[in-house]
A and B are shown apart, each in its own frame.
Chain A
């Protein structure tokens, strides 16, 4: 585990810097109250009231996130396979080929059904 400790050192350093900056920004900046300043910024007009819980946004983002998960899991399988590729030889190639083929079917289906369109 010794090789993970330096990461924590660098992490602590950068975390400390970020926290320090935010604290410093709080102290060094002036504070002049103005009600309009605390409103949401909408190019100068009266801000639209926000619904509780963040409001609605297009469902396309959910779809993108789900597609991402599918392909990201493919990548998670590909990495260890790639690292030990020479040990697996032809067998590994055929197995991964079949796996990628299955995924390509899914990919073609999503494409055909317009899941990759963004309008």
Chain B
């Protein structure tokens, strides 16, 4: 089966659609992504607002549904500035380079099984390749060029630094992301998205390969430059990051690309780990759940679930420091991913060579690994608590220029006696708890 797959350039059942169907599917995917973007921007603002005890935008249209559209129109009516120091051609090219690949990555995502459209049997998927997931990674990498070139061509300090950070971040987390896919390919025996979904009939890979799933979810947040990993646009340090100099619809394109990328990584997570368009458990008992057009609903629901997690993270976690962020990527995610990969491969080899069903090993091993990793966080937290519980060392002597900077007296420290000519300053001496 595998040898046949590698030899044939096409996945069975794909590449035979009539032209009008291809065009129709492409338009539907495009519209789907734009609508998802508009909706996600609004949902993010509303949900984060609720998390912060605010109401959020609710004036434009019913429930504020047209807010994002209004913002887009407003951006279109703003002046399109190209700074004097910018490299004009590259400056204009960068948003295009960042938007187009974001949309293109969605071409291989399966929305559902085979259905009939106007009498034509077809898969609810624009196309599928034997190397579909590799194709997504490749296209996503082209999108990084948009960010690099945007920062470089702006001819300004903040965008340059922002784009460098962003690039280093994307490539660091791409390694962990790439490693997390290997387990899936190993079990599915294919890189084609439709076959990976087909292989998840009895076990979703989120269950079977839980650590892979966890690594993917963490690195997908890093890959999309979202909080708590949005260091590329840390306002306090870098203004707006790589798109500081962009205005009008060019800025809107970067915004669009970011949200489309969010939808894409969510859809990829759904496809590779959550069974794609397959109905979740209680619903899957109903036989019709995985037929006809119903799977589109399950697929969209799972994608929305991931998008909600993105918003939830943003509403909950503070931004990491850059060195902590790189440390997490290179010193935690990559070694854990490699170790897990070796374990999966060993279990799988035992499975096929000695006919010993070891899937339970993976499931329980994965749960154990997750609990262990969770415990390290708890341990970190407890250690930090006990560290903070000890009162900081306070010397009774107050050094007003400790470390070369003027510092106020700490609680318990005394101001030195000031001796003014003729009097003593005894009356002003007091502890400085509440000045």
Q: Of A5, A50, A72, A87, which contacts B175 at CB under 8 A?
A: A72
Q: Is B396 an interface residue (CB 8 A)?
A: no
Chain B residue at minimal CB-CB distance from A30: B79
Cα distance, A75 to B11, chains bound together (Å):
23
Contact in complex: B182, A82 (CB < 8 Å) = yes
B349: A residues at CB distance < 8 A: 85, 89-90, 92-93
Distance between A98 CB and nearest chain B CB, rounded to angstroms: 11
Q: Is A68 an interface residue (CB 8 A)?
A: yes
Cα distance, A5 to B17, chains bound together (Å):
10
Q: Of B77, B158, B244, which contacts A29 at CB under 8 A?
A: B77
Given A18-B96, A64-B171, A40–B245 Cβ distance below 8 Å? Answer: yes
Contact in complex: A22, B29 (CB < 8 Å) = no
**Mask of B164-177 contacts with A, CB within 8 angstroms, 1/0:** 10011001101100
Q: Is A65 an interface residue (CB 8 A)?
A: yes
B258: A residues at CB distance < 8 A: none
Contact in complex: B10, A2 (CB < 8 Å) = yes
Q: Is B223 an interface residue (CB 8 A)?
A: no
Q: Is the interface of B mostly helix, strand, loop or mixed?
A: helix
Distance between A93 CB and nearest chain B CB, rounded to angstroms: 4
Q: Of B81, B175, B191, B244, which contacts A75 at CB under 8 A?
A: B175
Q: Of A5, A25, A61, A64, which contacts B249 at CB under 8 A?
A: A25
Chain B residue at minimal CB-CB distance from A12: B26
Q: Of B107, B155, B179, B326, which contacts A10 at CB under 8 A?
A: B107
B161: A residues at CB distance < 8 A: 57
Contact in complex: A10, B104 (CB < 8 Å) = yes
Chain A residue at minimal CB-CB distance from B165: A61
Contact in complex: B168, A41 (CB < 8 Å) = no
- How many B residues, CB 8 Å from partner? 96
Binding stretch for chain A, among B125-133, B297-305, B422-430 = B125-133
Chain A residue at minimal CB-CB distance from B73: A28
**Mask of B312-332 contacts with A, CB within 8 angstroms, 1/0:** 000000000011001100110
- By size class, the interface of chain A is 35 or more
Q: Of A4, A11, A19, A64, which contacts B172 at CB under 8 A?
A: A64
Chain B residue at minimal CB-CB distance from A47: B156
Q: Of B16, B250, B348, which contacts A2 at CB under 8 A?
A: B16
Contact in complex: B104, A25 (CB < 8 Å) = no
**Mask of B47-81 contacts with A, CB within 8 angstroms, 1/0:** 00000000000000000000000000001111111
Given A84-B6, A100-B342, A75–B76 Cβ distance below 8 Å? Answer: no
Contact in complex: B104, A11 (CB < 8 Å) = yes
Cα distance, A39 to B155, chains bound together (Å):
9
A107: B residues at CB distance < 8 A: 334-335
Cα distance, A33 to B369, chains bound together (Å):
60
Q: Is B37 an interface residue (CB 8 A)?
A: no
Task: Name 22 A/B residue pairs within 8 A (Cβ), A-sorted.
Answer: A6-B107, A6-B127, A11-B100, A13-B27, A22-B253, A25-B80, A28-B76, A31-B80, A38-B82, A40-B157, A41-B158, A42-B156, A43-B239, A55-B160, A68-B174, A78-B178, A78-B341, A84-B2, A84-B3, A87-B2, A97-B342, A118-B323
8 A-B pairs closest in CB distance: A25-B249, A2-B15, A40-B156, A14-B103, A3-B15, A82-B185, A75-B178, A118-B323
Interface residue ranges, A against B (CB under 8 Å): 1-7, 9-11, 13-15, 17-19, 21-22, 24-26, 28-32, 37-43, 47-48, 50, 54-55, 57, 60-61, 64-65, 67-68, 71-72, 75, 78-80, 82-87, 89-90, 92-93, 96-97, 100, 104, 107, 111, 116-119
